[in-house]
Amino acid sequence: MANKKSKSELAAEAKEIKEILAASKQKPHSFALFHGPDDLIFHAHKTKSKSQMRQLCKADGASQKGAVGMLDGAAGTVIDLIVEDPDSTPANFAKAFRKFLQVRGISKKVRLLAEDGGVLDAGEDEEEGAAAAAPDAAPDIGEDIEVVLAKVLKAFEAMRTPLLRSLNSAPKDYKVKLDTALDLFKKAMKAKNPDAAKKTLVALNKLISATPSPVVIVDSIKAAGSDPEKLGKLDSLVKTCAAQVKSDPAFMDRAMPEMRDMRKALKEAMNKTPPPKNIDALKAMKQAMDDMFYDHVDKPPRSHGPEYHGPGLTRDNLEDRVMNQKNPRTGQPSHGAPAFSASSFLDKGAYVDSQMELRTKALKHIDDTGLKPPAKGSRPVRLPAMDAKLKDVLGNNWQTFVHGVKKKTRNNRPDECVDANWGPDSLCRAIYDLLDDGTLRLVTLYPKPVAPPAPPPAPRPANPRPRRNRRRRGGGGGGQP
């Protein structure tokens, strides 16, 4: 049945298809579905073979692009096309057949399934995105298949270098995904199926751009710079990196400089004037990176910094630490010297910014002093406290990212907590240990309030009393004795 018909022909065809679909609920039918000169060509029968259905389609002018298999309508609202050869099935075929039915007044969902029951194509609208991202536009009907395959191969050659870099630098579990997609592409090319080849090439390209490796991150940052639109397209890379960090925490250490540069590029893009159109997407990406960096210093055994000074602590938590010597996060008794003040960051991003700045200072201190790691198995070397002004690290609105309290006694009254006094010279402070393997371990990080300098004393007022002129009295002469 050719799909491009007059209204009366479409109505007659719709009646026939409805009868087929109704019958397929009781027993699966052999089917053949192919692209024709104008639209799809479809045949199905409950007793005839799939080869016979293929021959009927060819007699109606079908091209080489299509599928054969079994049609199962048992689900009622969903039509399942169980295809014989998934690799030769055109991309978006389920959606194309769904539209074919809609033209004839038949509203059904369509799925393409492998013979083992796996879903090959759910027929949903988001499938269009993959088709639009194909390296070349879909060939015109009747275009020579060798010409099309040559175009696809040319697109593959263009991405060969980034593919090799991804294969060489990707973690083992991710390399399996790349190898699988590459094998599917080779099979599609060997079978001379350009549609399947292009579909797998799109998937392969997405995997390459999302490879969680320092090499790919560097390439992506260089290509995107601080351009909001280009950075927004790295969303899949950020998600993949987050998944990789979760399964392999050491990845964060390997990719730290590259991840830091990506986060910096996101901040620069977000701060553009006027704000970029995709500001919400950029914020979500930066938040995901903030979570990764923060969790990296908040991993068990929990660092003192996130425990006592990280985001999520309320003023009551801080007061409980000062007044009752409690751990502000857990409420359990706090060990160590009594605290007379307590402070915390209000935002993960602010915590991460401070940690990055102070870690850079710590590394510079090691270089400047020539400090060497301790001997293997020896105690870590404690570095002096690293300080930076909060306004220099967090910007002019730095006070919105910190809060704190301090203990105060007034006129012999019981102790009470008052707000910390955050002057312009307030600091973020970090303490690090240098370990025997040459790495730094964060001991603590916290915002340190510094009160504003006391105002200079008021000048003493001039003496309002006028000076009195005193007359000097001359001495008298004495008489002769």
Q: Tell me: the pLDDT tens digits for 409-450?
A: 766 666 788 999 999 999 999 999 999 988 888 899 999 999
Neighbours of 16 (CB within 10 A): 12
Helix (H, G, I), strand (E, B) or coil at 199: helix
Task: Write the class of the CATH domain 7-124.
Answer: alpha beta
DSSP state of 398: G
- The DSSP secondary-structure symbol of 33 reads E
**What is the C-alpha separation between 207 and 227, in angstroms, rounded?**
22
Find the length of the chain: 481
Q: Determine the pLDDT at residue 37.
A: 83
CA atoms of 103 and 14, how far apart (whole Å): 9
pLDDT of residue 148: 87
pLDDT digits over 189-223, tens only? 999 898 889 999 999 988 998 999 998 898 899 88
**Backbone dihedral angles phi then psi of residue 29, each to the nearest 5 degrees:** -110, 145
Per-residue model confidence (pLDDT) at position 383: 96
Residue with tokens 């060990």: 335
In degrees, rounded to 5, the angle at the alpha carbon of residue 1 between the alpha carbons of residues 129 and 38 is 50
Within 13 A of 314's CA, how many CA atoms are on the CB side? 5
**Contact partners, residue 351, CB within 8 Å, separation at least 6:** 294, 305, 306, 309, 310, 311, 345, 445
DSSP state at residue 333: B
Answer yes or no: are the C-beta atoms of 223 and 262 closer than 8 Å: no
Residue carrying structure tokens 């990055």: 356
DSSP 64: S
What pLDDT is attached to residue 464?
64
H or E element at residue 151: helix 145-158
- The H-or-E segment that residue 431 falls in is strand 427-434
Question: Which tokens is 303 given?
Answer: 């660092």
- Pairing assessment for the beta strands 119-121 and 109-113 based on DSSP bridges: antiparallel
Structure tokens at 438: 């040459």
Task: Pick out the chain residues at pLDDT < 50.
Answer: 1-3, 125-142, 477-481
Q: What is the pLDDT of residue 415?
A: 76
Ranges of each domain in the chain: 7-124, 145-296, 304-448
pTM here is: 0.60
The pLDDT score that the predictor gives to residue 126 is 36
The strand order across the sheet containing 402-408 reads 341-345, 402-408, 416-419
Instruction: Please give the pLDDT value at position 302.
Output: 52
**Cβ–Cβ under 8 Å, residues 109 and 177:** no
Tokens of 394: 């967090």
Residues 24, 18: Cα–Cα separation, whole Å = 10
User: Which residues, 6 or more positions from 90, have their beta carbon under 8 angstroms from its beta carbon?
Assistant: 35, 65, 66, 67, 96, 195, 196
C-alpha atoms less than 13 angstroms from C-alpha of 15 in its C-beta half-sphere: 5
**What tokens were used for 104?**
């004839």
Vertex 75 angle, CA 72 and 79, to 5°: 50
